[in-house]
Structure 1
Amino acid sequence: MKYYKLHLIRHGLTQGNLDGRYIGSGTDLPLCAEGRAQLEELKAKFQYPDVPLVFCSPMLRAQQTAEVLFPNAKLTILQDLREMNFGKFENRPITELVKDPEFAQWMDPTSRTNPDGAEDRKAFYDRTNVMLMKLFEYQLRTHTEEAACITHGGVIMNMMANHVLPQHKPEEWMTDPGCGYSLRLDAEMWMRDHIAEAFDIVPYGYLDGAEE
């Protein structure tokens, strides 16, 4: 049986991450010095897959992560791989937001409220689900057996929760900066069920290192 592989990887650290700020697609931050150093360390200590093609969010932090981790791969920028826009909550300290009743209401998964300037939650879910389907279908159509995708934590969690086995809640698929998941699928399984299988952590060996 022929398997296709796609590696979903979260971008590296930004200063906003270090400062504990709520950063979505409304804030286009570059990698910080610590973020670049961390990616270089991960690359030196562990193994990233050797891929010919990298799908990438248009955000600067994602593109810079791709340049560090996959300097020789073809880079394809896809707008729908961007993180959710958090509107009025963008770039605000999380310690401040947790005291905001409107933020607490918005964080409720059943809430239909939408803060000023923010992307609609359902629109984000639909956008990222469709994007994963397009990535896999591109691989199948072009016979691209292995590729990577550099995107954002929220995007990865939504994709994994809706189209990947074993089944977990979105928050259980949270991943560290520069890390992610290796997925595999065969054409029949994907066309029939739109389901892939998570079979490893990226970079390879990272989980073993974290458990030491």
Structure 2
Amino acid sequence: MLTYKIHLLRHGLTRANLEGRYIGRTDLPLCPEGRAQLEKLRDTCEYPWAERVYASPLLRARQTAELLYPGRPLEPLDKLRELDFGAFENRTITDLEQDPAFRAWIAAPAGAAPPQGESAAALLGRAVEAVAYIFARMMEERVTSVAVVTHGALIMNLLAAMGLPEREAVRWNAGPGEGYTLLLSAQMWMRDQKFEVYEQIPYPSGQGDNSDE
């Protein structure tokens, strides 16, 4: 049975990340510190081989993909974009803690949307659609290893809902330039819409799995 690998990675840091801002739809580039951090990871660790790369259309994700996988075919997918934080977009955590609407959102049942924003359920729905599209392309074209550069909230929600072993979303947190390798088979996907979370990436230098090269 053929096994497919999707290497799911979080983008690098932006200035807003360093300032503690809620950034979703806002299209920011990598900051110098974020680029330097990714370059250090790339030079001191090993990223898994990928025949092609998919990314969120937001600049920070596309720049990360181009830095970590230079020269690989890159396809932006709108469904891979970050959660839309609506009225809380581009505001600092310190500022938001004084906002009754933010406190109400934090206290609301899981999955509630921020004012004028997007719910976690909507985020998960399009994340699943993105994975389904990528996996269908992989099976059709006999491509067994791809990289996907996206955002932290999408990674956590997707893995909490569909990943094995089962874990709550916060336990699937990934640092900038880091993520997880997903193993998929046609049978598991069609029957259960699940995948195995195989390992964390990148690997320490000299310990990478480059068997697909």
Could you state the TM-score of these two structures normalised by the residue count of structure 2?
A: 0.90
5 Å matches for 1:120-199? 120-199=119-198
5 Å matches for 1:2-13? 2-13=2-13
Question: Does the Cα contact within 8 Å between 1:129 and 1:162 map onto a contact in 2?
Answer: no
SS at match of 1:190: helix
User: 1:16 is matched with which residue?
Assistant: 16
Question: Does the Cα contact within 8 Å between 1:24 and 1:90 map onto a contact in 2?
Answer: yes
Summarize the Cα distance change of 1:115–1:140 in structure 2 as closer, same or farther, 3 Å threshold: same
Matched, 1:51 2:56: no
Give the Å deviation of 1:17. Answer: 0.5
Give the Å deviation of 1:111. Answer: 5.8
| Gap regions ≥5 residues in structure 1 | none
Summarize the Cα distance change of 1:2–1:108 in structure 2 as closer, same or farther, 3 Å threshold: farther
Q: Which amino acid aligns with 1:30?
A: P
Give the Å deviation of 1:140. Answer: 1.7
- Paired residues in the alignment total 206
Give the Å deviation of 1:122. Answer: 2.7
1:48-78, Cα deviation, whole Å (9 max, x unpaired): 0121211110000000001100012100010
1:177-199, Cα deviation, whole Å (9 max, x unpaired): 00000011222122111111111
Q: Which amino acid aligns with 1:92?
A: R
Summarize the Cα distance change of 1:23–1:174 in structure 2 as closer, same or farther, 3 Å threshold: same
Q: Percent identity?
A: 46
User: 2:66 is matched with which residue?
Assistant: 67
Paired with 1:29 and 1:57, the residues of 2 have a C-alpha distance of: 12
SS at match of 1:58: coil
Paired with 2:111 and 2:175, the residues of 1 have a C-alpha distance of: 29
Give the Å deviation of 1:85. Answer: 1.0
SS at match of 2:87: helix
Question: Does the Cα contact within 8 Å between 2:180 and 2:199 map onto a contact in 1?
Answer: yes
Summarize the Cα distance change of 1:93–1:172 in structure 2 as closer, same or farther, 3 Å threshold: same
Q: Which amino acid aligns with 2:8?
A: L
Matched, 1:38 2:37: yes
Give the Å deviation of 1:125. Answer: 2.2
Question: Does the Cα contact within 8 Å between 1:129 and 1:158 map onto a contact in 2?
Answer: no
Q: CA RMSD in A?
A: 1.8
User: 2:88 is matched with which residue?
Assistant: 89
Paired with 2:58 and 2:111, the residues of 1 have a C-alpha distance of: 27
1:1-51, Cα deviation, whole Å (9 max, x unpaired): 3210000000000000011111111x1110000000000000011000121
Question: Does the Cα contact within 8 Å between 1:182 and 1:198 map onto a contact in 2?
Answer: yes
User: 2:210 is matched with which residue?
Assistant: none
Paired with 1:115 and 1:76, the residues of 2 have a C-alpha distance of: 29
Could you state the TM-score of these two structures normalised by the residue count of structure 1?
A: 0.91
SS at match of 1:175: coil
Paired with 1:100 and 1:128, the residues of 2 have a C-alpha distance of: 29
Q: Which amino acid aligns with 1:39?
A: L
Give the Å deviation of 1:130. Answer: 2.1
Q: Which amino acid aligns with 1:187?
A: A
